[in-house]
Chain A
Amino acid sequence: MAVGIEAMNLYGGSMFVDVRSIFEGRGLDLDRFDNLMMVRKAMVLPCEDPVTNAVNAAKPILDRLSEEEKNSIELLITATESGIDFGKSLSTYVHEYLGLSRHCRLFEVKQACYGGTAAFQMAANFVASQASPGAKALVIATDVSRTTERMSYAEPSQGEGAVAMLVSDRPQLFELDFGANGLYSYEVFDTCRPRPDVELGDPDLSLLSYLECLENTYRNYTEKVEGADFLETFDYLAFHTPFAGMVKGAHRKMMRQLYKMGGREIEADFQKRVAPSLKYCEEVGNVYAATVYFALSGLIDHAPIDEEMRIGIFSYGSGCSSEFFSGVVSPEAKKALSRMRIKEQLDARYSLSFEEYDKLIDMNKEWTFGIQDKAVDLSGCQTMYDHAMAGKRRLILKQIKDFHREYVWS
Chain B
Amino acid sequence: MTEEKVFEIVKESIGEILFDLDLSLVQPQHSLKELGANSIDRMEITVRAMEMLSLKIPLVEFGKVSNIQGLVDILLTQKKAAG
Q: Is B40 an interface residue (CB 8 A)?
A: yes
Is A203 touching B43 in the complex (CB atoms < 8 A)? no
Contacts A253-B44, A253-B47, A257-B47; A209 near B60 (Cβ below 8 A) = yes
Is A207 touching B40 in the complex (CB atoms < 8 A)? yes
Which residues of A have CB within 8 Å of B60? Answer: 188, 205, 208-209, 212
Chain B contact residues, majority secondary structure: helix
Chain A residue nearest to B61 in the complex (CB): A208
Is B40 touching A245 in the complex (CB atoms < 8 A)? yes
Contacts A202-B63, A207-B39; A249 near B58 (Cβ below 8 A) = no
Is A204 touching B44 in the complex (CB atoms < 8 A)? no
Which residues of A have CB within 8 Å of B64? Answer: 205
Name the residue among B42, B44, B58, B63 with the largest chain A CB count within 10 angstroms.
B63
Chain B residue nearest to A32 in the complex (CB): B38
Q: Is B59 an interface residue (CB 8 A)?
A: yes
Which residues of A have CB within 8 Å of B42? Answer: 204
For B63, give its contact among A204, A248, A257 (CB under 8 Å).
A204
Chain A positions 247 through 261: 1 when the CB is less than 8 Å from some CB of chain B, otherwise 0: 011001100110000
Number of interface residues of B (CB under 8 A): 13
Contacts of B49-80 to chain A: CB distance below 8 A: 58-60, 62-64
Contacts A204-B63, A208-B63; A246 near B40 (Cβ below 8 A) = yes
Which residues of A have CB within 8 Å of B63? Answer: 190, 202, 204-205, 208-209
Q: Is A211 an interface residue (CB 8 A)?
A: yes
Contacts of A164-221 to chain B: CB distance below 8 A: 188, 190, 202-205, 207-209, 211-212
Report the separation of the CA atoms of residues A175 and B3 in the bound assembly, to the nearest whole angstrom: 52
Report the separation of the CA atoms of residues A375 and B59 in the bound assembly, to the nearest whole angstrom: 48
5 tightest A-B contacts by CB?
A: A249-B40, A205-B63, A208-B59, A212-B59, A35-B38
